[in-house]
Copies of this chain bind each other. A is one copy, B any other.
Amino acid sequence: MDINLTSKHVYGRLLLIASILLLTIVSRAQSPNAPNIIVFIVDDMGWLDTSVPFAGSVTANNKKYHTPNMERLAKEGMIFTDAYAAPVCTPSRVSLMTGMNVAHHHVTNWTHPLKNTVADAKNPPYDYADWNINGFSPIAGIEKTVHATALPQLLKAAGYFTIHVGKAHWGAQGTPGANPYNLGFIVNVAGHAAGHPQSYLSEDNYGNIPGSKVAAQAVPDLEEYYQTGTFLTEALTREALKSLEYPVAKKQPFFLHFAHYAVHTPLMADVRYFQKYLDRGLDSAEAKYASLIEGMDKSLGDVIDFIEQKGIKNNTVIFFLSDNGGLSLPPRGDKPLTHNAPLKAGKGSVYEGGIRIPFIVSYPKLVKKGQVSHTPIIIEDLFPTLLDITGMKNYKTIQKIDGRSLVPQLKEPSLADTSRILLWHYPNYWRPSNFPGTNYHSALRQHNWKLVYNQQTRNAELYDLSTDIGEQKDLSTIYPHKTKELVALLGKLLKAYNAPMPKDKVSGKPLPYPADAE
């Protein structure tokens, strides 16, 4: 215990020193024109789980879901049709906080709330990859974490009032990453080590019912709403808006990271909208999901209303996104693997259904109304984009940034970069199933080419997304040279990042990187 105390003490000192350095080194963006920034991030929402037609034409999903405020935001700004995240939650969230690709930060799977606990499914066919199972850490020397400079640390140092509301899930209990304050957030409401809510209901105290069993997923900090009939999505919205009052009144630029627990399981009915979807003929599970979606959309509307009422809309950037594709397994209703149609598969997969996300940007000062960009972008792009938007230059980060600023695309949506490579890496065992594209997969996208690589079989598939968004027609035998080129590139990238790989149970050695196997 003494050792722990001492090392914690050292960590504390290091954190203080790091904070001071940040506050002194970073160039200050604070100016009357520094824009306010809102990142509105939804959990597990599929690309088409909205009435906004991200696919260009209106799909069945677009008709099923009612999201008038996403439509409103899209009309006021720009949608990105080809925006991506990682196939599961924590990897995406760490990429957003660090600007690093998943293969680089090594938090390749969602983190278990308990320290040193692998979240991969039990009894895997391979030994667990050496991934950062404790998540992100703003402090060096914490075992099995990626140590990096967090986005809000930089924004806070630059004069931003930084707020986190909702799901955090950046690091395990017993590590600094469990606490949003350590990432540079001045305010934290309801964020901790868990990745989903124990309950959405105030009737359940959001999972804190005295006498029931303690769950790591019980949502903290919302006692004032217990037993008031306030759905979690609504309670978080009120907290978010309350937390904005202070910086708005002080005219201090703010960064609000508003991370809804919705629409992650447990699927629970938001009663404000549930009956409507039952009346439309949805089964109970799907009606619950649709009600979670619309409750989340109402929250977005409240946020937009707020910045309008405060007269700060012109100087406020809103990024709307999800953290991975939509779940397409039970407890979702209807047939598994259909929920993200025409995309293939869903959450957990490197096929489009698992990684393509809704993405909208509104910023009246910079972005024209009703724009559409087809540029492929990925969640780590938010890090340099936000800093670019604030005008910060020469900021120092521990890590090398993989993301690219979207400001050029925001100014001119038709800007294309056909050479850029997007990378996904999932050396993990999600669940014992044949769910396509999940366990032990990597993927690349370059322009319209999509490579899907199976680490286990070493098989590579190639798709042309311009004609086959559903990834139905594997072109690898038709374009063997292109396939080989992309496999080699994938191997090179993973090797350069020293990306973790599943390990052979007999030899204990990591599986070879792509191309090296041949």
Contacts and interface: CB of A to CB of B under 8 A. Distances in A.
23 contacts: A4-B230, A5-B230, A8-B238, A12-B241, A12-B242, A19-B245, A19-B249, A113-B223, A173-B224, A173-B227, A174-B224, A175-B224, A178-B226, A181-B187, A181-B242, A182-B242, A186-B246, A187-B187, A208-B216, A212-B213, A213-B214, A220-B220, A221-B221
Contacts of A187: 181, 186-187
A106 interface: no
Contacts of A74: none
Interface in A235-257: 238-239, 241-243, 245-246, 249
The 8 closest A-B pairs by CB, nearest first: A1-B229, A4-B229, A178-B223, A173-B226, A23-B249, A179-B224, A178-B224, A220-B220
A425 interface: no
Interface residues of A, number: 63
A192 interface: yes
Nearest to A1: B229
Contacts of A115: 226-227
A89 interface: no
Interface in A334-378: none
Contacts of A216: 208, 210
Contacts of A228: 4-5, 8, 174
A312 interface: no
This protein's copies in its complex: 2
B181 A227 contact: no
A177 B225 CA distance: 11
Nearest to A163: B186
Contact of A243 (B181, B208, B218): B181
A246 B223 CA distance: 27
A209 interface: yes
A173 B235 CA distance: 14
Contact of A229 (B5, B213, B215, B249): B5
A211 B224 CA distance: 24
A415 interface: no
A156 interface: yes
Interface of A: 1-2, 4-5, 8, 12, 15-16, 19-20, 23, 113-115, 156, 171, 173-179, 181-182, 186-189, 192-193, 205, 208-216, 218, 220-230, 234, 238-239, 241-243, 245-246, 249, 271
Contacts of A4: 228-230
A238 B181 contact: no
Contacts of A192: 221, 223
Nearest to A157: B249
B225 A174 contact: yes
Given A186-B186, A249-B23, A174 B227 contact: yes
A213 B188 CA distance: 25
Contact of A211 (B178, B213, B220, B234): B213
A209 B205 contact: no
A402 to B, nearest CB: 27
A249 B20 contact: yes
Contacts of A243: 181
Contacts of A20: 245, 249
Most buried by B among A2, A19, A171, A242: A242
Nearest to A247: B186
A149 to B, nearest CB: 16
Contact of A224 (B156, B182, B223, B249): B182
A301 to B, nearest CB: 14
